[in-house]
Structure formats: structure tokens, C-alpha cells
Structure 1
């Protein structure tokens, strides 16, 4: 670790590495648990949608809670809930034939826990480093998570093919339990966030005012409400089916997803050295290549072609993610970070349950190829629309990121969200 990375930062990075390693494989395992029981695209989509729907329902409450109580405590409890839900999911798969509703309920439980975890995590990461090291901290943190994603996807795909999805889900549950233990050891100061000014409803109103006052913020969140939905449908529903029919099953699909993870590592290394001045303009241009994976799946390509495309998309999304994190770090007051982050997460995942649930019917109505081409087209059109916003084109990096000065005292440096850490 670099010299500026203290004990707390190292614990956070290690905990996120562990959970990402298990969860990446569990994404494949959950899909194939449904498929192995005879499920079709609609069934796969419904189970995947249950998790995201629960996140949407609880995210705003989670953000308000995380601005009121110790964020560390929220994160530990959320990790514990995820460990229990994934452990029971694994037990059902290993010992029998779980019903579709049981799998959906357990993934929904994990999604609800994530709704509290994600906003809390945004306000904690940078409390462990000096603000002058914000960019390096973002890059190191995401390099660690992306490295875990690569290993988790490749290993998860191989394990699902070799020993079945139940054991992969059990590994994920163990990872969440370990992460809860690591995060419980954080030594976080209690001094100093401003006292809540009123009830949770009032807190949410204040967060909403912060959110809608910035066109770059709500514009990109609206964009990703659709982009995340169609891309999740492509990867969680169509991808496993294309892989089963044309690539050889879970193992090759895991390798293709891992190539995307390798791309994010490459993008992270690039962003550690490249510091573009217009961070959102460059980041938004990096969203266009996300149209490539669904377009490639529409062709049912050879594995090497798909891995190249996934690698390119991984590089591109990391360029966006670092710029997005830095923009939020610069512009959002710390004491409102979790609430604003909750609106960010809420908007970014709000359409995903609908997209996942509609993936099967869309495939029936337009054909899988037509649905995939439609996904690619939506990514391109919406990204072009976001570039029309002046604030997106003009917002610039500060030479040294500093906390936003507000009327209320901020106890911790600002953190910045991405669309899903665990």
C-alpha cells in the first residue's frame, strides 16, 4: 500500500476486495441456479430484479439513516444481513430444489441490505485519507475492487461449471461475514457530523434540493437509470443464455465477464496517470463504448471477440467512474453526501428491476437479437443527450480537491459514489 494509506483505508480496501471477489462469482451462480432448475429468461430476470427492486424501495431511507447514525455500524449490519441471506440461498440450492419465490425473496433481502450499505460507504472511504490524495485513493480502491471482480468472475464461472452454483453462493456468504468482521475493526472518530436538523422526511427533502440543483448530477443519473437497466439485462439475462447456446456455458461466460474486469483495471491504471481537466466531459465520452457488449452478444460471437469487446467496455467505464467520483467529491457537502448518494443510487438502479423483469418478454416480442440491438441503441442515444448539458461539458477538476464549504461543519472529507461498491 502507498505511504498515505493508513490502517482504516487498508481495512476498507481489504473488505471490499473480499466481498467483490465472492459477489462477482455469485452473480453467475444465481443465474445458473435458476437455469439449472429449468428456468427461462423471464425466471432469471425476475430473480435478478428482486434484488434491485428491494434496493430501490429502501435506498432513500438508507441514505437518511447513514447521515444520522455511525456509517461504520450501518455497513457492518448490512454485510451481516447479506451473509445470512446468501448463506440460506446456498443451503437451499445445495440441499434441494428451491422455489423461484424463495430465490427471489433471498436476493431481495440482500438488495435491501445493500440499500443501507451503499449510501453509508460513500461517506466513509475518504475519511481515511487526506483530501490531497483523493484521486489516488479512488484509483487504488477501485483497482482493488476490479481486481477482485476479475478473479471472482473467472473463478466463479469455473466453479459453477465444476461444482455447481450452491458452493459459489456459500463462498459469497463467507466473504460477507469476513467483511463485516473487518469493517467492525475500523477506528472511526465519532466527532462531528452536524446534528440532523429534523426528521427523516426533512432530511430527504434537503438531499433532494441538493440533487436537483445540479443539472450534471440529475442528468447523468437519469441517463444511467436506463443504461444500467439495459446493460444489467444484457449481462444477467441474455448473456448467460447466449453463452449456454453458443459459447459453452458458465465457464466461458465467466471469462468474458472477467475480461471486462481486466479492462477496468487498465482504465484505473490509466486514470492514475491521466488527469483530464474536464472530468465529466471525458467521463461521458467513456460511456459510448458500453453499447459494444450488447451489440456483440446480438451477433453470438466467438469467445475471443466477446472478450475484446468486454475489455474495451471495462476501460471505458472506469474512465467515467473516476471522473464521476471526483465530481461528487468536489461538489457535494459532506454532511449531505449519504442522502445525495442515495438519490444517485436510487435513480441509477430505479429502472433496473423493470428492465430485468421485461428482458424475457422483450426477447419473446422482438427476438433476443432485436432486444440486444435496442439496448445498444439506448446507450448511444442517451449518452449523446447528456453531452448536450453545458454543466457536463464544462465542469472542471480542481487542482487539489477540497471539501465543499457549507454553513454546517463537516467532520470527514468528502467521498464519492460509483454505481455499485459492496
Structure 2
């Protein structure tokens, strides 16, 4: 009979990290709603909002690789601390512009650009720091806890932002997001991480080349990342752009909000279940269940009623939640720690590059073949892309370190 592993929360270091993520994720989940209403209130039309969002996204993608190299070269605690302090200051400055009625598109875009650069340094360091806080056998549990936290924030954050905007204005909600970054930095500053493992330091381009070499050497990594690219290419734009319209045709505008909440609840449940899911091949399981993400698109394409849409969204959320935990855990278990952030940055960059392409393609394609037809086609393509990594032995047989503790 095996002895269950103790919870990662029994570690003081992980508790501090967990507390910092709790504060930061709640603020980040509030930010999109707060930003949207703040800019819409300050500027006529939607043009300014699109420009502000784009000026954050582009530098985030452009600097991801540099962020991964920095997190592998320097202390990840320091990288996270600087990024959170910087994000708190940029969001705080944006809140001041809004609250003092000094908003201009140029100033807002400049702050959004800085915020995007800081976000590029945050993501690779976050994935790389977890193995420095818990034992290898506790990684799945740690990622399940963090995933549950992130998914709960996605449910609670937008609602809290909406209430805050309604009670005051968007500037106050943006200020709350800024405060969350600064408070999270207090917790991160106390993490007992001095630096990364000692290794020879080389030039930046050499660091990036070695990160790419590690990314391509691990066959299962680039094969699953390729699948993520294709899944994001066909799914994200269709879901974000066609989803609200197709849902409103069978229900109402409120139905779309309910659909997103139910999908988030499915992701939350899956993350919680992953805490105890000690299977022999965790990556294979995560890849297999990721195909459930095609169900909401199929339901939209078929014009199903709102209850059926909600059931499909819940199932799709469950698949996405478990797939996310299995992917993060597999990377942390099998990619060398000194290259983990760079490999993660290549994964993020290649996965996210597909999103704007898909978003720009949805309008013309829907006009050519019809919205419901496009949703059906993208659902089928998504399913094929999701399952494609299972063709490869390296994906099917990758072992899970904590499987023996089930």
C-alpha cells in the first residue's frame, strides 16, 4: 500500500508562492473587464480599445524568448519580482490617467506596451519556478492547485470587476489590479530561491540557440506544441468572435456569459480532480481528453439549445483544465531545470502566434461559408489536431513521476 504524498501547501515556500498567485490572478482576471470599460468610457468607439490591446499583445510575443532566457540565466524570484513591480507601476500609472481624466491614446498605448514586455518575462519564470519550490513527485499536485486557483479567478474576477466598475468606474478597477501586482510582489520577495543552477553563462543568441536545441531534442515537446498551434489557430478566433453571435441566436447575450462561466467551472473541476489523478502516463491522458474542447464548437455549429451548449462547454472546460495540468507537469518533470524557462517560452510563442492569425481569418471565412458551417469545420479540425500527438510513441509513453503514489 502506497503512502500519499503530503500536500505542497505544507511547504512554507510554496504557500508564499500560492498566496502571491492568488492575489495576482484575481487582479489579472479583473483586468480585461476593467480595461475594456475604462477605455470605452474614456474614448469614443472601439478603435482605441483595439489599439491598446494590440500594443500589449505584440511586445509580449516579441519578448517571450528573451523572457525565457532571463528566467534561466538569473534568479527566477528576481525576474518575477521585477516583472510584478513593473506591472503594478504601469497599471497604477494607467489608473492615474483614467482617474484624473488625462487619458490619451498615446499614453495608454505606451503603458500597454510596457505591460506586454513585462508579461513576456513573467510567464516563463512562473513555469520554471515551481520545480524549485516542491519535490518532483509533488509537481502534479502543485500544478493542480495552481490551475484550480487560476480557473477560480477566471470565474470570480470578471464578476468582481463588473461590480467594481458599476459602483465606481474603470479607473478604480484598474487601480485594484495594480495593487494586486504590488501585493503579490511582497509574497514573491520572500521566496527562498537564490538563483538558478550554476552553469556557464554565454551570449544571448547562444542561450536562445541552446534553448531551441533542447526544445527540438525533446520530441514529445515540439509535437504537442505543434498540436497547440493548430488548435489555437482553428479554435480561438471561432470561439471568441463567432461564439457570442451564434449563442445569441439560440439564447441571448446573457447566455454567452453563462457559457463562459460554465466552461470555467469545468476547468476548475478538472484542475481539482487532477490533484489526485496519479496515472502512469499523465501526458497521454491530458492529450486524449483535450479533444473535449471540440464539443462547444460542434454544439455551436449544430445550433443546439442553451442547455446543450452549457453541457458541451462544461465538458470542454474539463478537457482543457486537465490538459493544462498534464502539460505543465510533464514539462517540469522531464525538461532540465536550467533550460525549462527557455523551452517554455518557445512553447508559449509558437502556441500563441496562431491566435491572431485565427482571429483575423474568422470574418472572411464565416462570410464565405457561413458561421455555423465554420464552427463545425473548425471543431473537426480541432479534434484531429488535439489527438494527433498520440500518433507518436514519445507522447504516448512519457512516464509520470508521481504515478506510484496513487
- TM-score computed with the length of structure 2 as normaliser: 0.84
In structure 1, which of residues 199, 209, 216 is the aligned counterpart of residue 213 of structure 2? 209
Residue deviations 1:92-120 (CA, integer Å, cap 9, x gap): 55565956666555444322211111111
Shift of the alpha carbon at 1:177? 1.9
Deviation string 1:144-190 (CA, Å, 9 cap, x unpaired) is 22222221133335555665544433322221121122212223234
User: Structure 1 residue 55: deviation in Å?
Assistant: 1.8
Contact 1:286 1:320 in 2 (8 A): yes
Q: Which residue of 2 aligns with 1:417?
A: none
Distance 2:328 2:89 in 1: 31
Q: Deviations over 1:205-227 (max 9, x none)?
A: 11111111122111111221232
Q: SS in structure 1 opposite 2:10?
A: coil
| Stretch deviating more after TM superposition (172-181 or 64-73) | 172-181
Aligned equivalents of 1:156, 1:242: Cα separation in 2: 26
TM superposition shift of 1:9: 0.7
2:144 equivalent in structure 1:
139
CA–CA distance in structure 2, aligned partners of residues 387 and 319 of structure 1: 16
Q: Choose from 247, 270, 289 the match for 1:267.
A: 270
What residue number does 1:75 align with?
Answer: 80
Match for residue 339 of structure 1?
342
Task: Structure 2: give runs of 5+ residues left out of the alignment.
Answer: 1-5
Aligned partner of 1:380 in structure 2 is 383
Higher helix share: 2
Corresponding residue for residue 237 of structure 2: 233
Q: How does 1:350-361 map to 2 (within 5 A)?
A: 350-360=353-363
Distance apart, 1:141 and its partner CA: 2.2
Residues 51 and 224 from structure 1, CA distance in 2 versus in 1: closer, same or farther, beyond 3 angstroms? farther
Asked whether the equivalents of residues 139 and 333 of structure 2 are also in contact (C-alpha less than 8 Å), the reply is no
Matches within 5 A, 1:277-356: 277-297=280-300, 304-356=307-359
Counting only pairs closer than 5 Å after superposition, residues 8-407 of structure 1 correspond to structure 2 as 8-31=13-36, 39=45, 47-92=52-97, 105-159=110-164, 165-190=170-195, 193-234=197-238, 236-239=240-243, 249=253, 253-297=256-300, 304-360=307-363, 362=365, 368-399=371-402
C-alpha distance 3-83 of structure 1, shift in aligned 2 (>3 A): closer
Residue equivalent to 2:3: none
SS at match of 1:123: helix
Q: Distance in 2 between matches of 1:172 and 1:246?
A: 35
Shift of 1:122: 1.9
- How many pairs are equivalent? 398
Q: Give the 3-state SS of the residue equivalent to 1:343 in structure 2.
A: helix
Separation of aligned partners in 1, 2:7 and 2:81: 26
In structure 2, C-alpha distance between the alignment counterparts of 1:45 and 1:365, rounded to whole Å: 25
From the superposition, tell whether residues 272 and 174 of structure 1 become closer, same or farther in structure 2 (CA, over 3 Å): same
SS in 2 for 1:275: coil
Distance 1:254 1:100, change over 3 A: farther
Rounded Cα–Cα distance in structure 1 between residues aligned with 2:375 and 2:95: 31
2: distance between equivalents of 1:359 and 1:165?
A: 30
**CA gap 1:39/1:376 in 2 versus in 1, 3 angstroms:** farther
Alpha-carbon distance in structure 2 between the residues aligned to 1:110 and 1:144: 23
Q: Is the 8 A contact 2:68 2:341 kept in 1?
A: yes
